[in-house]
Amino acid sequence: MSFQLTEDQLMIQTMVRDFSRNVVSPTAMKRDQTKEFPAENLKQMGELGLMGMMIPPEYNGAGTDTVSYVLALSEIAYSCASTAVVMSVQNSIVCESIYKFGTEDQKERFLKPLAAGEIIGAFALTEPNAGSDLVSQKTNAVRDGDFYILNGTKRFITSGKNSGVVIVTAVTDESKRHKGISAFLIKKETRGLIVGNTENKMGLRSSDTTDLIFEDCRIPAKDMLGKEGEGFMIAMTGLDSGRIGIAAQSVGVAQAALDAAVQYSKEREQFGRPISKFQGLRWIIADMATEIEAARQLMFSAASMKDRGEKYTAQASMAKLFASEMVNRVTAKALQIHGGYGYIKEYPVERFFRDARVFTIYEGTSEIQRIVISNHILKDKRRPNN
């Protein structure tokens, strides 16, 4: 591997790999069928420091860098993409947003239990009619003395049902477009916050994705995250980090698919020899491995830029775009190598193929990533890597 990992990073990778393969992997296939939330895995991950990895220890985090985080997340995704997406949302767009923009009181009340993994966090941004076009969101927050009153519906919220805290964005001043959107921290038990429909998804089936409905939901003004009008910027900042996480999920699932395909190709015999001996198949395996390595290096590059404090928006989008499209190609090839056995649920490649499908969609579609990347390249001041 060309990217030089430190002793600490290698230690974290080994520790999480052992945990993932021994604890997370054995139940992944069953949970895909039953849709059971991986609560026990996540509890243990909290104890291992995996739920607030980049948060300093004074707020119950593990205080690691982003490179360590993507290594850990890839290892969890290798065994179970459903568990990985919960870890990803919790670490990046939830914990980091509170750490970066929260008051000391908010860090005490919300960040500490989240980073310790005692509760799960969600970020409620998307709406039925506002996904890529987040500025068009309709959920609104109206000031009433020391409170804001929220009304509206959020859709496709990861951990919507199983979370204890939600960061929600709402319009506080429609005339100001993206500068009229604010963010709020809300405990799930708050009156007026209702968990709506749980989606029946193609993949990531043991992670819940729900509607969250706000009906005259009163939130103390002190629980606004950041200042009024900073919600869109907070979400965009969180998504930069989140997108590196999707690249890490993609690399983990792709590596699992490649390993399964390699093992199967050595065991499966046709025409009197293992199918791994056929050049047509060896070339497919070579392409899969090369694509995974390219995605891994893009993931490391974006994570390192973040760790060095550089602006990494475009690099995160490049990593997310390439890795999420790569894993869709790689899981399809792994399934093809398995032939008929790839199409049945006894083999894990069928799950990898379904789980990977959403990676080019959530936290910004491939088309949105191309907008972000081209904007940065065409505007000289934001051009990456020059």
Residues of this chain that interact with ligand CAA (CB under 6 A) are 89, 125-126, 131-132, 134, 158, 178, 232-233, 236-237, 239-240, 313, 362-364, 368, 371-372, 375
User: What is the C-alpha to C-alpha distance for residues 359 and 30, in angstroms, rounded to an integer?
Assistant: 22
- Whole-angstrom Cα Rg for the chain: 21
Residue number, 78 or 232, with CB nearest to ligand CAA: 232
For ligand CAA, the closer CB: 149 or 236: 236
To ligand CAA, the closest distance from the beta carbon of 250 in angstroms equals 13
For ligand CAA, the closer of residues 28 and 157 by Cβ is 157
Residue 226 vs 342, nearer CB to ligand CAA: 226
Q: Least distance to ligand CAA from the beta carbon of 131, Å?
A: 6
Q: Considering the complex, what minimum distance in angstroms separates the CB of residue 97 from ligand CAA?
A: 12
Question: Smallest distance, Å, CB 239 to ligand CAA?
Answer: 5
DSSP track, 120-176: -EEEE--BTTBSS-GGG---EEEEETTEEEEEEEEEEEETTTT-SEEEEEEES-GGG
User: Does residue 267 carry a catalytic annotation?
Assistant: no
Nearest to 253 by CA among 159, 350, 355, 341: 355
Closest CA to 50 of 109, 117, 4, 2: 117
Closest to 355 in 3D by CA, of 113, 158, 84: 84
Of the candidates 189, 228, 363, 367, the residue annotated as catalytic is: 363
CB-based burial, 129-143: b 16+ in 10 Å, e otherwise: ebbeebeebebbbee
* One-letter identity of residue 30: K
3 DSSP 8-state letter: S
Q: How far is the CB of 89 from ligand CAA (least distance, A)?
A: 5
Minimum CB distance to ligand CAA smaller for 164 or for 274: 164
Residues with a known catalytic role: 363
